[in-house]
Amino acid sequence: MTVADPVLSLRGATRRFGGLVAVRDFDFDVGEHEVLGLIGPNGSGKSTTLNLISGALKPTSGSIMLRGRTISGLPAQEIARRGIARTFQLVRLLPSLNVLQNVMAGAVFGHRRRWGHEAEAQAMRMLEKVGLARRAHAPVGELTYIDTKRVELARTLAGEPKVLLLDEWLAGLNPTELEEGISLIRALRDEGRTIILVEHVMDAIRSLCDRCVVMSSGAKIAEGSTDEVLSDREVIRAYLGDDDA
Amino acid sequence: MTGTEARNLALAAVAFAVVACLPLAGSAYWLAIGVTIAMYTVLATSWALFSGPTHYISLATAAFFGVGSYTTAIGIEHLPYWTLPPIAGVLGAVLAALVGLATLRLSGVYFVIFTLGLAELVRQVIIWFQNVSGTKGLYVLTSITEAHIFWQLTGLAALVYLVGWAIWRSRLGFALRIIGDDEEVARHSGINTAGAKVLLFMVPGAVAAITGAILAPRYVYIEPATAFTPMLSFQVVIMALLGGTSRLWGPLVGVIPFTFLWEAISASFPNQTTLLLGICFLLIVYLLPKGFVGLLQAARKRVETREAWA
């Protein structure tokens, strides 16, 4: 399945670690304003795929294009500058900086670059968006778990990226926090942002994703609308094993 | 510029003016101590500009310093003296850029070893050249007095503080704080981490070379063993860590007491200096990992918490 005028495309993206093929010959497209779920069992290569897109890893072969221009092989900072921002599976904040300065990191060095008062105002707007404006001057060490995730999300948004990569952003939240988290991402979706969501939380996938790509053992096994994909026999087998399919 | 910044700037200017009067006091002993303190202040502060935020321990100070000393020793025959410190600065910055490009992509450990080896490498090259050409050391005979050296170093210190302050306020300074916290995040936020580190490493490279150029007339006779002594690199690291690298004024607070301590050690135990330097280093790392600055910040925090509870 191809998308007309995709923002991001992978063509034959492959990553080997020695003899292990973590991602094999992977193709998919993400359209403008689309929220794409990248799902699959543990160890299926989802995080490696995000690392290939964000430039943390270079593909062994194949190519990745942002609006038709090849970005695979570029260093991570160049990819970030061109408009791909990410969160990390384990939240990564800057401990010596306060909440506002953490978010300013994205505003100052991201896709759309600002400096001084402009960067501060942009960071403040992002903190309002994620509901953390009142904690702007707190040290990050004092934050609750979901608030650290909010800071990281605000940091990625601050540079106005074209594509947002969320690596299990909802993982580890308690039920109340999960609801807040889902509505936050839904708000981003309603703003028309282009997002790739690596996620395990099925409720979140159902309510947020337009389309899903399913990976198993490093390869794509299904792609389509979320409902379609989640009822696919192959997908159920990959998640639950043969007996339940 | 805010009101506090303007006030701090004015205070610093007054402090420098007062310090600059030291040679007028007429004591040769205090002037000699003053030169030593000014020299280590310049070296340790510029060292901390790079190593503070990045946590890369550079042991290359002696290499840059020696290159500066030799710039004066060789250049004094052909050029007016006042051109030599700037030339040394350019050479130091270029050498730092080359070292940075070669090593800063690697992890911290490789960087430490490489910088330590660099001083030795440059020294061996000069010894080899001397053996080939049949020369020994070089004489630097000038009419430059101890007071002139002191004033030059004080001026250089003012420049280092201004540069440090300007960097702290700049995008580069912000980028370096982010790199120091988490290099992976820095890269993914769009920061050219290698570029920022190389650019910043050129500052201590240039400053140490200028310092070497300024001090060469004091030593009169320049030879590889004194110009590239590794003790210099270690002393700079110890002083900067003793003071603390998280504030611009931190190293100064380490340089002053350590200079007096070192003065006492070299006078009482001239044959055990290396051993005692090692012990000082261990004590500082174990007892004062964040230096005097860290001690002060912890004390301030305690007071604040007490006030918050009162």
ipTM of the complex: 0.91
Provide, as residue numbers in chain A, all residues whose Cβ is less than 8 Å from the Cβ of B181: 94-97
Q: What are phi and psi of A10, to 5 degrees?
A: -110, 135
Please state the rounded mean pLDDT for residues A114-132: 94
| Number of Cβ within a 10 Å radius of residue B20 | 14
- Distance CA(A109)–CA(A115), nearest Å, equals 9
Rounded distance, CA B46 to CA B164, Å?
8
Interface contact A125, partner B, CB < 8 A:
no
Q: How many CA atoms lie within 13 A of B249 on its CB side?
A: 7
What per-residue confidence (pLDDT) applies to B2?
A: 75
pLDDT at B274: 85
Kindly determine whether residue B189 and residue A54, on different chains, have CB atoms separated by under 8 Å.
no
In the sheet that holds A211-216, the strands lie side by side as A84-86, A163-167, A194-198, A35-39, A211-216, A219-225
The predicted model gives A147-166 an average pLDDT of 95
Minimal CA separation from B215 to chain A, in Å: 38
**Interface membership of B181 toward A (CB under 8 Å):** yes
Question: Is A45's pLDDT higher than 70?
Answer: yes
Query: Would an 8 Å CB–CB cutoff place B171 in contact with chain A?
Result: yes
- What type of residue sits at position B300? R
Q: Do the Cβ atoms of B181 and A96 come within 8 Å? A: yes
Cα(B228)–Cα(B231) distance, integer angstroms: 9
**How many Å apart are CA B110 and CA B214, to the nearest integer?**
31
Tell me the shortest Cα–Cα distance from A4 to chain B, in angstroms: 28
The percent of residues in chain A predicted with pLDDT above 90, rounded, is: 81
Mean pLDDT (chain A) is: 92
With beta carbons less than 8 A apart as the criterion, state whether B287 and B279 touch: no
**E-assigned strand segments in B143-252:** 221-222
Question: Which contacts qualify for B164-169: CB closer than 8 Å, 24 or more apart?
Answer: B164/B45, B164/B46, B164/B49, B164/B248, B165/B248, B167/B49, B167/B200, B167/B203, B168/B248
- The answer to whether the beta carbons of residues A50 and A196 sit under 8 Å apart is yes
Are the beta carbons of A97 and B177 separated by less than 8 Å? yes
Q: Which CATH number fits domain A1-83+162-180+197-245: 3.40.50.620, 3.40.50.300, 3.40.190.10, 1.10.3470.10?
A: 3.40.50.300
Q: How many residue pairs from chains A and B have C-beta atoms closer than 8 A? A: 69
pLDDT reported for residue B94: 97
In Å, how far from its chain's centre is CA B54? 15
For chain B, say whether A108 makes contact (Cβ under 8 Å): yes
As to burial, measured by CB atoms within 10 angstroms (0-12 exposed, 13-18 middle, 19+ buried), residue A141 is: exposed
- Between CA B82 and CA B76 the distance in angstroms is 10
- Name chain A contacts of B193, Cβ cutoff 8 Å: 77
B192/A108 CB distance under 8 A? no
User: In chain A, which residues have their Cβ closer than 8 Å to the Cβ of B187?
Assistant: 55, 75-77, 80
Asked if residue B198 lies in contact with residue B100, where contact means CB atoms within 8 angstroms, the answer is yes
Mutate to test the interface with A, among B184, B185, B189 (most CBs of A within 10 A): B189
Supply angle C-alpha B40, B220, B116, rounded to 5. Answer: 45
Interatomic CA distance for residues B180 and B157, integer angstroms: 25
pLDDT in tens, chain B (310 residues): 678 888 888 888 898 988 888 888 888 899 999 999 999 999 999 999 999 888 888 999 999 999 999 999 999 989 999 999 999 999 999 999 998 888 877 767 888 888 888 888 988 988 888 888 877 788 888 888 999 999 999 999 999 999 999 999 999 999 999 998 999 999 999 999 989 999 999 999 999 999 999 999 998 888 888 889 888 999 999 999 999 988 889 999 999 999 999 989 888 988 888 888 888 888 888 888 888 888 888 888 888 777 666 5
Q: Per-residue pLDDT averaged across A51-56, rounded?
A: 95
Question: How far is C-alpha B3 from the chain's CA centre?
Answer: 30
Tokens of A57: 């890893």
DSSP reduced 3-state for B308 = helix
**Pick from B253, B259, B44, B257: nearest CA to B160:** B44
Give which of B86, B85, B124, B116 is closest to B99, Cα–Cα.
B116
Residues making up chain A, counted from first to last: 245
Cross-chain CB nearest to A110 (options B174, B187, B189): B189
| Contact (CB<8Å) A86/B181 | no
Helix, strand, or coil here: A111?
coil
> Between B174, B180, B187, which is nearest A77 by CB?
B187
**Residue B184 pLDDT:** 93
Q: How many Cβ atoms from other residues are within 10 Å of residue A216's Cβ?
A: 19
Which residues does chain B have within 8 Å of residue A52's beta carbon, measured at their own beta carbons?
none
Confidence label for A242 from pLDDT (cuts 50, 70 and 90): low
Instruction: Note the pLDDT of residue A111.
Output: 93
Choose among B181, B152, B205, B175: nearest CA to B46. Answer: B205
Identify the CA nearest to B258 among candidates B30, B3, B40: B40
Residues A231-241: tens digit of each pLDDT: 888 888 888 77
B contacts of A95 (beta carbons < 8 Å): 181
**Average pLDDT, integer, range A84-89:** 94
- Please determine, for residue A244, whether its predicted confidence score (pLDDT) is greater than 70: no
Domain segments of chain A as ranges: 1-83+162-180+197-245, 94-161
Residue keyed to tokens 């792609």? A223
Q: Is the pTM of this model over 0.95?
A: no
Mutate to test the interface with B, among A74, A77, A153 (most CBs of B within 10 A): A77
- A134 by Cβ neighbours in 10 Å (0-12 / 13-18 / 19+) ranks as exposed
The number of residues making up chain B comes to 310
